[in-house]
Structure formats: structure tokens, C-alpha cells
Chain A
Amino acid sequence: MIVFEKPKALTDAVLHYCPGCTHGIIHRLVAEAIDDLGIQGRTIGVASVGCSVMAYNYFDVDMVQAAHGRAPAVATGVKRSDPNNIVFTYQGDGDLAAIGTAETVHSAARGENITVIFVNNAIYGMTGGQMAPTTLPGQVTQTSPYGRDVKTVGYPVKICEMLSQLDGAAYLERVAVNNVKNIKNAKKAIKKAFQNQVEGKGFSLIEVVSTCPTNWGLPPVKALEWLEENMIPYYPLGVYKDKYAEEVK
């Protein structure tokens, strides 16, 4: 009996990500959710710009590649074209929380019935490690070589907290993939975000606190430790909004 295998909604393509990059785990969790819900044949994914730009090679579903930051707008078009399709975006922090902030906020405000997977690793990975909207105060990056100075460049954007103020957002949860327990929680959250869409509940976003061993300059295992010690205190895990659970209360 097989206890664990690669989900069907992933292709056989070998991931291009760096060793220990948690994108691979998050890809798998998304694919597992698609498998579990039996929606592979009607799922359409929207890849963004960043390290996950080539996500269209990895998900075994129809995919469209969007311009930097525009994935939620493209997803809006795909979803409105045929609401029976299950539409998700897969975006990084630069894409979703900097250049695409308007698209993020307004797709949430509209209660667009899509699922957004937001990978927050506090850095621009694809371009070689520049300061991101989510880079921590004091964090050293290629474009904050003396550490992020909040006096001059301001503070990180906390997406879940920010979007939780919007009536249109249905479900917002921040998870992490730094250990088995958190990965299992992340899986539950991602599955729920897709389930919500199947049930027509509206905008769901899962923020996944993630690593970038290469650009953080840490070995993969150390990067997970750094995540736990630095990222999670600044970006606390948990459900930030669950509109329907609130209504039940």
C-alpha cells in the first residue's frame, strides 16, 4: 500500500528550484488539495513573475502566465469567463505585496471567488535577493546591504492583517512550511481555500511563510531555523479571517 506519493496534479517535470527551497513543498500541497477535491480537470492556474514563474510546467492543469503583479486580475478574467472553473494564483511577495498590491487588494475587496497562494520568503529570489515588501526590519539583502532601515524604507507589509479589514475577503490564513506539523496545517489551509471556491464562498488567500536558502545565504536546514526564529515572530501564524465561521458564531 502506498502511504505517500507525488500527487497527480503535479507533472513529472523536475523542479528548477534551488536545493531546499520550500516552493517545492508548497507546489505539492496545492497539487494534493486539487487531488483531494477531485478538481484537476476543471482547475486553471495563474503563474506569476518571480521564482515560481515556470509553475506552468509543474501543475498538471491548464495554466496561464501573468505579468508581474497581475495574476489576480488575470485570474478574475479566467474565473468570470467560466465560474465553474477552479482558478488559483501562485504568487511571491514581490509580485503580490509590491507591484501587484492594487490587484491583490481589489480582488479581495470584490470577493473574487478565487484562491490565492501567497509565498512569503521576505526577499526577491528570482532577481538575486533584493529587498522585498516583506523583508524584515534589519534584514540584509542585496538592496538593503546595511539591513532594512525602517526609517528610510519603511516597514514590511503584513498582507493577512491588512486584507482582514476588507469585507470582501472570505478566508485568510498564514501558515508555514518549516516542519512536518506546520506543513500538515498548511495543507489543511490550502485545501480549505480551494474548498471555499468550490462552494462559491469567495476570496481565499493563504500566506505561506517560506524560505530562500540561496538568497538568505544559509544552508537549507539553517534557513528553516532562521524562519522559525525571525519570520514567525513578525508574521504570526493563524487564521486572520474566516467570514463563514464568523457567521456561524
Chain B
Amino acid sequence: MSHEKVLMKGNEALAEAAIMAGCHHYFGYPITPQTEVAAYMSKRMPKIDGGVFLQAESEIAAINMVIGVASTGKRVMTSSSSPGISLKSEGLSYLAGCDLPALVVNVQRGGPGLGGIQPSQSDYFHATRGAGHGDFHMIVLAPDSVQEMVSLVFHGFDLAEKYRMTTMILSDGTMGQMMEPVSLDMGEIKQYDKPWALTGTKCERKPNIVNSLYLQPEELEKRNFERYEKYKLIEETEPMFEEYKMEDAEVCIAAFGVAARVSQNAIDEARKQGIKVGMIRPITLWPFPKKAFASAAEKVKSFVSVELSMGQMVEDIELSVRCKRPVLLCNRAGGMIPTTQNVLDKIIEASKL
């Protein structure tokens, strides 16, 4: 692919980026609003040497097929939307317990239950805290443009292999459906040794075993402590965020994905009215950019978390700023998106605190 920019839909750019990043195995199941990813893969994979697209019988089967490929050390992904991600949760826990790299995309829609099919960010807790049973984390990346969708797919695969864990791209219906010009050239892909991969012993080495069962509690505890050492390192080295007009800000907006795009407009509008407001946009939701918020708390008077949920990330901001400053919530839910005016009103309220 050339350096030229092409106009692509978010979901399709994500799929093409995965292929470009060396992911030649995709397993999925139809669900709105992510079906374009599967449809795109079904067109492209058969044209690739060794490419596999398989429509599984369920989300559960799809994530377990991902586990199968991941255990052989190859790049693999699945995508779904909120209710389907709930079904994949068992598999996400096994991926963590087996220390397998994989890329999982959640194009979020409103919930709970069958909910709706309009954009949402209400799987934030699921992605950052409760993706399945047991102690574990996934790396969670939140793009706010089609171009960033592409770059985070590349980065996501790299992190997954570097740390042998799942990366989740937390997108939403808006990100998936919108069209923007993108460049798919992301440079060279780093190769990692995978001595643990199941490739057949060739009768030359001891068998590799991919497993999450440890019946001795001492052993299981040890595995968990080791995994959390890795998580600690990730929390220190991998947080990503972007600041917008934070230099002189007195009010700090926190928003990711589509909420960040709306917030940017509201910030520009507020500044016209003389309110000093800026934004910290977390790109990694786990590891959460705690330090960025902690240091902002030394400078700003208040925070506003803008979310397409009943208020989930707001808890991470409160934790990061240790409740030193008030944190307001500006939210819409159920598939509704906060308007510029919604955010502007909240900025004005926050500036008066």
C-alpha cells in the first residue's frame, strides 16, 4: 500500500489495517454495528495466501477459534459489538490466563441487554475492569478518528505480542461508520520470538502447553503475581493520551472516542466566550493515563468527564486526581451522543466552581 491517503469507513479501515499488520486469521459473527469488519474480511482474506475468514456459529466459538490461532503464535483477531462482547468474555479470561496475544474489537452499542444499535461507550467498565472472571487486564485502546483506528490496530498487535495479552480496540458505532481519509502505511512490523507457541514439537523439543489451569493455589497465586508485575510495567510505560489547549486551562475535559470530537468543538466555543478550558483525551483506557490527570489536578479547578454512558470513566478520573478537584459528568446514554451545547453547558457550570 502506498503513502497515499484513501477515503475509508472506520470499520473497513480497521479491517484493512489488521491485514496490513500481518493478521491473516479472522473469526467473527454478525452483529450491528460492526458487521462491515466481517464483511470486509470475508472479501479480502481469501485473496491472501494462507488467509482465513471464518464466520463462526457464535461469538463464543469465534473467540475460542481466536484462542486456537493465538496459541500457535500467529496474529489473529475478532470483532463484535457489546452483546457479542459479553459472550466473548469467557474467552477473554482464558486468553489472559493462557497469556496469549490477540486483538479484539468492540464497536460499542447501547445496553444493557439487547439495548440498541446506536453508538455508546457503556462497555468502559467491561473493557477496563470486568472483561471476564478472575484477576486480569486487557490493554484497551480508544481511537477518535479513522486514521487513529488504523495506527492503533498496528500498535495494538505490537503491544499484544510484546506483553502476551489481549488488546481491545474500544470503538463505537460512530467511529465504525464514519468515513475519513487515511494512510495505511505504518512502517515495519516488529517481530517477537514465540518459543511458547504450539507449532508441533517436530520431536525435537519438549511439548509446549498452553493452559490456564493451576490446581495448586500457591502456583496460581504466583502466576497472578507475575502477571500483575507485567501489568505494573505496562501502567508505567504504556499510557497514551493527547492534550488539547491544556496550557492555561482552568477546566479540564476528559473524553475519548467520539466524545472527544464533540468536546473539542465545545472547547473552541467556550474559549470564544473566554473560558479557559482544555482536554486530556485518554488513548489507552487501560493503562489509564493517571499521571496526566494527577498533574492536571495541580493546575485546573475542575474536571468534566464527557461520556456516552451513565458515567464510567468518571471514576478513573476521580481516582487519578484523588478527589482533589471536583469531577463533573456530562453524559448521554442509550445510543445518544452529547451535543456541543450539552458539553458547553457543563463547561460553564464547571468554570463557576
Contacts and interface: CB of A to CB of B under 8 A. Distances in A.
Interface of A: 11, 40-44, 46-47, 53-54, 56, 59-67, 70, 73-82, 85, 102-103, 105-106
A80 B207 contact: no
A73 B66 CA distance: 9
Contacts of B69: 77-78, 80-81
A60 B67 CA distance: 21
A53 B214 CA distance: 11
B64 A73 contact: yes
A201 to B, nearest CB: 19
B234 interface: no
B68 A62 contact: no
Contacts of A56: 207, 209, 211
Interface string B61-96: 110111111111010100000000000001100100
Interface stretch (B198-206, B238-246, B249-257): B198-206
B210 interface: yes
Contacts of A82: 72, 199
21 contacts: A43-B200, A46-B68, A56-B211, A62-B199, A62-B200, A62-B209, A63-B208, A64-B68, A64-B198, A64-B209, A64-B211, A67-B64, A70-B61, A70-B64, A74-B67, A77-B64, A77-B68, A77-B70, A103-B57, A103-B60, A106-B61
Contacts of A40: 201, 203
Contacts of A66: 64, 67, 94
B207 A61 contact: yes
User: Taking each of A70, A76, A77, which has the highest tally of chain B beta carbons within 10 Å of its own beta carbon?
Assistant: A77
A59 B202 CA distance: 14
Given A40-B203, A73-B60, A82-B199, A65 B68 contact: no
A165 to B, nearest CB: 16
Contact of A77 (B66, B98, B208): B66
Contacts of B98: 64-65
B295 interface: no
Nearest to A76: B65
Interface size class of chain B, counting residues whose CB lies under 8 Å from the partner chain: 35 or more
A194 B108 CA distance: 42
A75 B72 CA distance: 11
B212 A80 contact: no
B65 A62 contact: no
Given A46-B68, A62-B208, A77-B71, 4 more contacts: A42-B202, A73-B61, A85-B199, A105-B57
A50 to B, nearest CB: 12
A79 to B, nearest CB: 8
Interface of B: 25, 27, 52, 54, 56-58, 60-62, 64-72, 74, 76, 90-91, 94, 98, 198-204, 207-213
B3 to A, nearest CB: 32
B200 A85 contact: yes
Contact of A61 (B27, B60, B201): B201
Contacts of A44: 72, 198, 200
A80 B54 contact: yes
A81 B201 contact: no
A145 B292 CA distance: 61
Nearest to B24: A81
Contacts of A41: 200-204
B142 to A, nearest CB: 27
Contact of A106 (B57, B74, B211, B212): B57
B71 A74 contact: yes
B91 A67 contact: yes
B207 A74 contact: no
B209 A63 contact: yes
B201 A62 contact: yes
Contacts of A46: 68
B199 A103 contact: no
CB-CB nearest 3 A-B residue pairs: A77-B68, A73-B64, A106-B57
